[in-house]
Chain A
Amino acid sequence: MAEHSTHETAHAPAHASKGTYWLIALILGILTLLEVAVFYVPLLRAAIVPILLTLSTAKFALVAMFFMHLKFDKPILTTVFAGGIVVATVIILAMMLLFGVVGPGAHM
């Protein structure tokens, strides 16, 4: 068992420093603050969806790349994760299209 565990540790990839993790957390906090600010600014109402989706995507990417170590890990893991995200996105878009939330039959 111990031999196996040591073998596992040998596979541990390189990762960011503690300082980088704190910096990423700070950026995530700022991005969340920006999201909430955008929600309350009436002037940005017209562009709220693209702005919020951009901020949200940035937060998602930062957590996946640094906290989940995808930036430093084997590319196969990114491929597996991206596969799941692509299928999820297709499901969301297909459902929204079928229900007329987006596309030709949209009534927004």
Chain B
Amino acid sequence: MDSHATSFGVPNRKLAMWVFIASECMFFGSLIATYLSYEGKSLVGPTPHEILNIPLTSVSTFVLLMSSLAMVLALEAVQSGDRRMTRLWLGGVIVLGGLFLSGQVYEFREFYHEGLTLQQNLFGATFFVLTGFHGAHVTVGVIWMVTLLVMSLRGTLGPERSLDVEVAGLYWHFVDVVWIVIFTVVYLIQ
């Protein structure tokens, strides 16, 4: 069975990734809906405006946006057969993704010390589930990028395998757009 060409003129794996992304929209939509439905209904603190660190999250948001730039440049490099730039940009995505995750770990730790836990109130429960699932997606993305970097270092990631990078890139950019929504809805609109 030809697993690549489809009647839509799109490689099967790419189409499958887009269908997966569409299902992920619904998944994160449900988590955002739950967060918004319970917003302001916590009976005890800490509340969002008491605890959310906007400057730190703004920097994290910028870091994740720039990781998307690195990702698209990595795809460009692999398509043009530039192995050195492929490794450089994939490394960039890994470093920036790692920085974002570090910021999230720091934020979660701070919140925990300030008394916000999953069980503390409705804000804690919905906030940690939403941002935690997003963080888990970023972690999967970073692991995926590491495997691509290893492939590149072994010399097995040439232009003929550019679809591998494109599909991984779609996942990475999706994680980025989800954060764009979370940053606005959770952090800025309180």
Contacts and interface: CB of A to CB of B under 8 A. Distances in A.
Interface of A: 2, 4-9, 11-12, 15, 18, 21-22, 24-25, 28-29, 32, 35-36, 38-39, 48-49, 52-53, 55-56, 59-60, 63-64, 66-68, 73-74, 76-77, 80-81, 83-85, 87-89, 91-92, 94-96, 98-99, 101
B163 interface: yes
Given A32-B61, A36-B54, A18 B76 contact: yes
B29 interface: yes
Interface string B1-32: 01111001111011100110111111011101
Contact of A77 (B18, B34, B65): B18
Contact of B33 (A39, A84, A91): A91
A42 to B, nearest CB: 14
Contacts of B58: 32, 36
A15 B166 CA distance: 12
Interface of B: 2-5, 8-11, 13-15, 18-19, 21-26, 28-30, 32-34, 36-39, 54, 58, 61-62, 65-66, 68-69, 71-73, 76, 79, 159-163, 166, 169-170, 173-174, 176-177, 180-181, 183-184, 188-189
A67 B28 contact: no
6 contacts: A11-B5, A15-B76, A25-B68, A29-B65, A52-B188, A67-B176
B69 A21 contact: yes
A73 B173 CA distance: 15
B25 A25 contact: no
Contacts of B76: 15, 18, 21
A98 B33 CA distance: 11
B181 A6 contact: no
Nearest to A1: B160
Given A32-B61, A84-B21, A98-B37, A21 B184 contact: no
A53 B160 contact: no
Contact of A28 (B9, B36, B65): B65
Given A9-B79, A96-B33, 6 more contacts: A53-B189, A59-B65, A67-B71, A84-B21, A85-B22, A88-B26
